[in-house]
Amino acid sequence: MKLYEMTALELSRLLGKKEVSAVEVTQSFLERTGSVEPQVQAYITQTPEIALAAAEMVDKQRARGEALSPLAGVPLAVKDNICTGGVRTTCASRFMEEYIPPTDATVVMKARRAGMPLLGKTNLDEFAMGSSTENSAFFPTRNPWDLQRVPGGSSGGSAAAVAAGMAPLALGTDTGGSVRQPAAFCGLVGLRPTYGRVSRAGLVPLASSLDQAGPLALTTADAALLLSLIAGEDRLDPTSSAAPVDDYTGALSQGVRGLKVGLLAEHLPPEFDSEIIAAVRRAAAALEKNGAIVEEHAMPHISSSLEVYYLLCAAEASSNLGRFDGLRYGRSESAENVTAMYSRARGEGFGPEVKRRILLGTAVLRESRYERYFLQAQRVRALIRRDFEDAFSRFDLLLGAVTPSTAFKLGEKIEDPLAIYRGDICILPGPLAGVPSIALPAGTVSGGLPVGVQLTAAPFNERVLFRAAHLLEQERGGRPLRPQPAPPAL
Amino acid sequence: MAADEAIGEREMDELAELACLYLEPAEKKMLNRRLNALMELLGKIGEVETGGVEPDIHPGILPPRFREDEVEPSLSPGRVFQNSAHRSDSFFRVPSIAGEGPGGA
């Protein structure tokens, strides 16, 4: 097996035993990237020199016998809306094409301090607005399982990089499913942590009450390793939690005996792909076989999640994106007065989806609509949260689908944004309630594409997610799901 | 969505001005059409019974946190201005703001 085909945990063990060097590991991923990136186009910016310098440093530290993080020498790809000091961070937007952050996001700082070589910055839908990575201002990323299909989004570049063997681990952001949906489309594990579990400092904000960073990984163990590294309180993010970080890797082998699992009735409708429903039911049966108690459960308000999410996300985004004025950073325009300068920079720098959401947010925050749209959405958000509180008074876990269908073809839905929005229905409720969810591979369906299932737990109970997800992974054979055939090299 | 809630041409101009977005005429028409389709979909939120429910502005999992109001090191001017094309000494330089708005000269 080549190094780029290994999981982060396997690489960590080889590095720890000094059977390979961090430079060898990093070079393997760089070489793999050289051969498949022209087809997949996962990266906006590649940083091989930075990666190799970090790897050399790790090798020197290891040679000196220093205590190192389990992830030291394991390379990382980072979504390009997460700030990297000295490395441009574009948000896949023309507006931010040349922006070089002065500092690292906290999650990046933690990864760099742990000795994870930064391979590059991955593609996304502009400002994380989208579910296919087709809204990138630069180019669409392709799904390594089928190059004619989307990798999902908005963290599609991160997912494609890991699925194609161009990175063993990646960071994404999940505002309304942007880690979990691409994980499902690309056959990966994708975790959205509890709101507040991971610092948001240095994430370019989309919707501040919803944004979270999370890992995209080949296995549950890899996701647990990366979460263990990035989780924790951060004085730069007042919404980060001071709760102690749990032992996630220790939870992996604890099994599911005695756990109560609610099978979400709303995720099993006849209009969903029948093979996805079958995958969810197979997961339920596997949990039951291993000692969990599974019951179907209904959550009456989550069917309104789509409306609530898009109203609140647009309102928050219209406010958050007010900072992009072309004065302090970003696309710069000359004009006769300051308002014209701002308007031209924003008008020329933002793409159509970003403009649509800014205008939507502006419309629903106007006095004439504020009560009926914005406040009403916040009230329904409260009802959705109550649905989750009620569910977690009865169950340890909720099981459901990630998406209603497998990865769609590039361009198939580009003219129908509402169809793309509707595809997010299973991944929107969790963020509205701030609860953690994990998407994990559940095999492939008849077209040869991967399909995922989703587990959701009560706030700060990521451990129980890892217990159940790891068990389901073992039931599937315990190995990562890999694209068959692999993406063609040039 | 009621007909009077649809966003018309005049409101599109107002929204673009409020959002500081310069839009080409053809782009404005296309965005107006899509925005109205979206408003129609999202207008269904009004059908949910929410009597007596307080709006939820935040996940609400975490208690508010405070810190001492103390001076701390911040970015150097060089780093603050590194991404700006509008620097003048230690200031951001903007075109005239006089003459704008209803109270302008």
Q: How many CA atoms lie within 13 A of B16 on its CB side?
A: 23
The amino acid sitting at B43 is G
The set of residues, in sequence order, having a beta carbon less than 8 Å from that of A263 and lying 6+ positions away, is A280, A284, A294, A295, A296, A297, A398, A399, A400
pLDDT (0 to 100) of residue A489: 64
List the single residue in B15, B43, B44 with the smallest CB-CB distance to A359.
B15
Count A/B contacts: CB-CB distance under 8 Å: 178
Highest mean pLDDT out of A251-260, B65-74, B93-102: A251-260
What letter represents residue A99's amino acid?
Y
Residue A209: Cβ within 10 Å count:
21
A318 labelled catalytic: no
Q: Which pLDDT tens digit goes with each residue over A422-447?
A: 899 999 999 999 999 999 999 999 88
- Contact criterion met (CB < 8 Å) for B82 and A100: yes
The H or E element that residue A340 is part of is: helix A338-349
Contact B38/A361 with Cβ under 8 angstroms?
no
What distance in Å separates the CA atoms of residue A345 and residue A325, rounded to the nearest whole number?
Answer: 7
Residue that wins the pLDDT comparison between A70 and B78: A70
Query: What is the C-alpha to C-alpha distance for residues A125 and A134, in angstroms, rounded to an integer?
Result: 6
Q: What is the DSSP letter of A236?
A: T
Q: CATH 3.90.1300.10 region(s) of chain A?
A: 3-255+438-475
B68 CB near a chain A CB, below 8 Å? no
Give ipTM to 2 decimals. 0.91
CB within 8 Å of B94: residues ≥ 6 apart: A327, A338, A341, B86
> Are B95 and A318 in contact (CB < 8 Å)?
no
* pLDDT of A99: 96
**Catalytic one of A79, A110, A121, A413:** A79
Q: Answer for the pair B31, B11: CB distance below 8 angstroms, yes or no.
A: no
Give the pLDDT of residue A490.
55
Instruction: Kindly report whether the peptide bond that precedes residue A102 is cis, defined as omega within 30 degrees of 0.
Output: no
pLDDT tens per residue, range A12-28: 999 999 999 999 999 99
Positions in chain A short of pLDDT 50: none
pLDDT at B66: 82
With a CB cutoff of 8 Å and minimum separation 6, the contacts of A201 are: A105, A106, A234, A236, A237, A240
Least Cα separation, residue A433 to chain B (angstroms): 5
Identity of the amino acid at A160: A
Task: Show the tokens assigned to A7.
Answer: 């999981």
Q: Do the beta carbons of residue B21 and residue A356 sit within 8 Å? A: no
What is the DSSP annotation of chain B? --GGGS--HHHHHHHHHHTT----HHHHHHHHHHHHHHHHHHGGGGGS--TTPPP--S---S--------------HHHHTTT-S-EETTEE-----TT-STT--
Q: Domain A3-255+438-475: which CATH class?
A: alpha beta
User: For B9-55, how does the pLDDT look when each residue is reduced to its tens digit (9 = 90+)?
Assistant: 999 999 999 999 999 999 999 999 999 999 999 999 999 999 999 99
Q: Note the pLDDT of residue B105.
A: 36
Half-sphere exposure of A462 (CA within 13 A, CB side): 34
- Cα nearest neighbour of B101 on chain A: A339
Q: How confident is the model at residue B99 (pLDDT cuts 50, 70, 90)?
A: low
DSSP state of A330: S
Alpha helices in A270-333 (DSSP H): 274-289, 305-320
Are B28 and A360 spatial neighbours (Cβ–Cβ below 8 Å)?
A: no
Predicted confidence (pLDDT) at residue B103 exceeds the cutoff of 50: no
Whether A98 sits inside 8 A of B83 (CB atoms) is yes
A332 is catalytic: no
